[in-house]
Amino acid sequence: MDSIAKQIESVAAALSRARSVAVLTGAGISAESGIRTFRDTMEGLWKEFDPQKLATPQAFAADPALVSRWYDSRRQGCRAADPNPGHTSLADIERHLESRGGRFTLLTQNVDGLHQKAGSRNVVELHGSVHVWRCTKTDKEVTPGPEPFQQFPVPSPWGGTLRPGVVWFGEMLPPAAVEAAEDAATTCDLFFSVGTSAVVYPAAGFVAVAHRRGALTVEINRDPTPISSHVTHSIRGKAGEIIPQLVQHAFK
């Protein structure tokens, strides 16, 4: 296997020539901003709760106060977090691509809003956003202010209850987001999978779509995942360290 330096050189060369780039990100890219990844255990107040059990419509139906309180605590954490060099380097790639008439699509499974905070513009939120909440009665959306909610479950102005605007297991992803992701995966010449365990579908399937269509596929992850042996290059390392090096080599 090539050294990381060689892989970076080779992927940077492809990035410097690419006309259409798609990037799928997961919780790992925000880990260096202090946001716990989904499958790492939670700390403090929430350490005894398994995120995979809380992120379901069944959990919300059984205990809406608990689930809403958990998401509001995450909303506060995301508001306080700053983008790291992984996020800002992806925004740099978008600017470089745009300046030469190329195309860049950032597909994120994250609900934290850090890509937008870093300056990325063409962001597709596959799993929604923790910053937008929705009335269970009317489906109307609200963007709550900075203060934590005072009451749990959170009363909706329309008489129902507010729930976080995220996509839970068993729920459909927003159709427009899936369409945008399929389009980006089928038309890109370079596809990156960054900081995701690649086990949650349909997001985990987009890399295979891109690969079948002939795109060069690149994984950047701290640990191996089920796609590591199927991509063209699997670069083992932290997103906040690898992506800035790619940008530096590709656009120097």
Alpha-carbon distance of 160 to 234, in angstroms, equals: 46
Verify binding: residue 32, ligand BJW, rule CB under 6 A. yes
CB neighbours (10 Å) of residue 33? 21
Question: For ligand BJW, which is the closer residue by CB, 116 or 221?
Answer: 221
Q: Which residue is nearest to ligand BJW (CB)?
A: 28
Closest distance of CB 23 from ligand BJW, Å: 13
Given 3-state DSSP classes, what are the helix, strand and coil percentages for the chain, each rounded to the nearest 5? 40, 20, 40
Q: Which of 89, 115, 195, 234 binds ligand BJW (CB under 6 A)?
A: 195
Q: Which of 87, 115, 127, 131 is catalytic?
A: 127
- Site residue total, ligand BJW (CB under 6 A): 33
Q: Does 193 bind ligand BJW (CB under 6 A)?
A: no
Minimum separation from the CB atom of position 37 to ligand BJW (A) = 4
CA-CA-CA-CA torsion for 221, 86, 8, 92, nearest 10 degrees?
A: 150
Give burial (CB, 10 Å; 0-12/13-18/19+) of 96.
Answer: middle
Residues within window 41-70 making contact with ligand BJW, judged by CB under 6 A: 55
Among 51, 32, 145, CA closest to 90: 32
- Most distant pair of Cα atoms in the chain: their distance: 59
Q: Is 239 in the site for ligand BJW (CB under 6 A)?
A: yes
169 binds ligand BJW (CB under 6 A): yes
Question: What DSSP character marks residue 172?
Answer: P
Taking CB under 6 A as the criterion, which residues in 217-236 touch ligand BJW? 221-223, 225
Residues 6+ apart with CB under 8 A from 30: 37, 81, 84, 87, 110, 112, 114, 195
Residue nearer to ligand BJW on the CB measure, 127 or 134: 127
Strands laid side by side in the 233-236 sheet: 123-125, 103-108, 20-25, 190-194, 216-221, 233-236
Decide: is 165 part of the binding site for ligand BJW (CB under 6 A). no
Residue 211: active-site member: no
Shortest Cβ distance from residue 49 to ligand BJW (Å)? Answer: 11
Give me the active site residues, please.
Answer: 127
* Binding positions for ligand BJW, rule: CB under 6 A: 26-28, 31-32, 37-39, 55, 109, 111, 127, 166-173, 195-197, 199-202, 221-223, 225, 238-239
